[in-house]
Structure 1
Amino acid sequence: MPSNVEIKAVLRDINYLTQRAKDLSASEGTVIRQQDTFFKVPTGRLKLRDFQDGTGQLIFYERPDTEGPKLSNYSITPTSDPKGLVKVLTDALGLVGQVKKERTLFIVGQTRVHVDSVEGLGVFMELEVVMKENQSREEGVSIANQLMLELGVKEADLIDGAYMDLLLKDQKNGYRL
């Protein structure tokens, strides 16, 4: 199963981080609009990512809900009918909720740097160090930590869990970043 080392952080200065990501990736980034629909499953997380253009991906992943770099194992399959698949999976498994975001993607080495504007939550940064076949978790964590430094991400801004978790907390507790 493919894996990555991932971190998420609240963005305090979107302009600074975006400019640093542009510099490090030598690109303007790619803007992607996504709607992630999460389904009830006994372990891990299952989501259907709708790219809002008639295409999508069904993604299953397992990852601890802790702050800082964490290893995530995942599997992905494409779909050309995301809306139909959402209906079937909702009927079969039940719906947890949806996350709508606009993501700017930058590639820095083997790392996907995301600048995410999440509807109802705010602006975040996510790093996904895409692990090579024989690479250790420790190597991935080291790459993530170094990139955090280069992007000016502070440990105090790290968050745990998924955007869906934050939205659910917000609904239950009035949680705000």
Structure 2
Amino acid sequence: MHINYEFKARVDNSAQLEAVLSSLSPVFAGEDRQVDTYFNVPNGRLKLREGNIENALIHYERINTAGAKQSNVLLYQHQPGSTLKKLLAASLGVKTIVDKKRKIYFIENVKFHFDTVESLGTFVEVEAIDNDGTIGLEKLKLQCDQYIALFGLQASQFMAESYSDLLLAKKSSTT
């Protein structure tokens, strides 16, 4: 298990924020089209990510509060096209599916996502990652604060919910 300290914000100016980040010479990992299938689980969230860059089964627990917050993550890398999705769907049931385009950047242990999510809009997500306990929560918090300030984000932009929660709420309000 590793610890993330992260935030997600709704933005209308993702290209401008990407340009601001580019001034820091981040490593561009690429643009990924990701389909995250969320499954019904009693604790936390479980999703199977299928993309052309990232493919993983991810279980995470985090509090739904706006702003930066801690997330405890277990990650299992899987091979694309495996029967894992069918197995999980049959045994747990599918909760919802999130379809997004994601540009991925890194600066040291910090991962940046510029997301366009079908039916929801555009977002920036920043994850300060401590894979082995050597960085510590305080530094992760400082890193998030640094990028909140760099991007000039306002409290009203922060998202408490995951994309899956937002999609489920949107579906229930239209039925």
Q: TM-score, normalised by structure 1?
A: 0.90
Once the two structures are superposed, residues 75-115 of structure 1 have per-residue CA deviations (whole angstroms, 9 ceiling, x without a partner) of: 11111144521111011011101001110011123210110
Is 1:139–2:139 an aligned residue pair? yes
Alpha-carbon separation, structure 2, partners of 1:83 and 1:119: 25
**CA deviation profile, 1:27-71 (whole Å, cap 9, x unmatched):** 555211110000000001110001158x72111111111111111
* 1:141-160 to 2 correspondences below 5 Å: 141-160=141-160
Q: Is the contact between residue 57 and residue 79 of structure 1 (CA under 8 Å) also seen in structure 2? A: yes
The equivalent of 1:95 in structure 2 is 94
Unaligned runs of 5+ in 2: none
1:138 counterpart SS class: helix
Map 1:18-167 onto structure 2 (within 5 A).
Answer: 18-27=18-27, 30-52=30-52, 56-82=55-81, 84-131=83-130, 133-167=133-167
Q: What RMSD, in angstroms, separates the aligned Cα atoms of the two structures?
A: 1.8
Determine helix, strand or coil for the equivalent of 2:24. Answer: helix
Give the stretch that moved more between structures: 11-20 or 158-167.
11-20
Give the count of matched residue pairs: 173
Structure 1: runs of 5+ lacking an equivalent = none
- Three-state SS of the structure 2 residue aligned to 1:47 is strand
CA distance in 1, matches of 2:45, 2:28: 31
Quote how far apart the aligned CAs of 1:150 are: 0.8
Change (3 A) 1:45 1:26: closer
The sequence identity of aligned pairs, in percent, is: 32
Q: Kindly indicate whether the alpha-carbon contact (under 8 Å) linking 2:27 and 2:107 is maintained by their aligned counterparts in 1.
A: no
SS of 1:24's partner is coil
TM-score (norm 2): 0.91
